[in-house]
């Protein structure tokens, strides 16, 4: 079994917390409490590209 967070064929979204931290999150798992979806379902590569383009370094 592979890690679902590293599945290159998986579908992901990008949630963000109230401190501006982003995560790559598999769509089959519930987003943790306190996080909101910042980028809707997409490929792993597209989500990582979005994070890289969007993230400012955080607090």
Residue 4, pLDDT score: 87
Residue 59, pLDDT score: 54
In terms of phi and psi (left: phi > 0; alpha: psi -120 to 50; beta: otherwise), the region of 52 is alpha
- Taking residue 44's Cβ as centre, other Cβ atoms within 10 Å add up to 17
pLDDT tens track for 12-54: 999 999 999 999 999 999 999 999 999 999 999 999 999 999 9
Residue 30, pLDDT score: 95
4: which 2 tokens? 């679902």
Whether 3 maps to a domain, the answer reads no
Residue 55, pLDDT score: 83
Tell how far CA 2 is from the center of its chain: 18
Say yes or no to pLDDT of 2 above 90. no
* Distance, CA of 59 to CA of 3 (rounded, Å): 29
CATH number, domain with residue 15: 3.90.820.10
Domain interval for residue 28:
8-54
* Distance, CA of 30 to CA of 38 (rounded, Å): 14
Residue 2 vs residue 8, higher pLDDT? 8
């Amino acid at each position: 079994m592979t890690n679902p967070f590293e599945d290159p064929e998986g579908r992901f979204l990008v949630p963000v917390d109230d401190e501006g931290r982003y995560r790559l999150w598999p769509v089959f798992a519930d987003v943790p409490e306190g996080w909101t979806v910042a980028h809707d379902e997409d490929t792993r590569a597209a989500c990582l590209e979005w994070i890289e383009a969007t993230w400012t370094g955080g607090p």
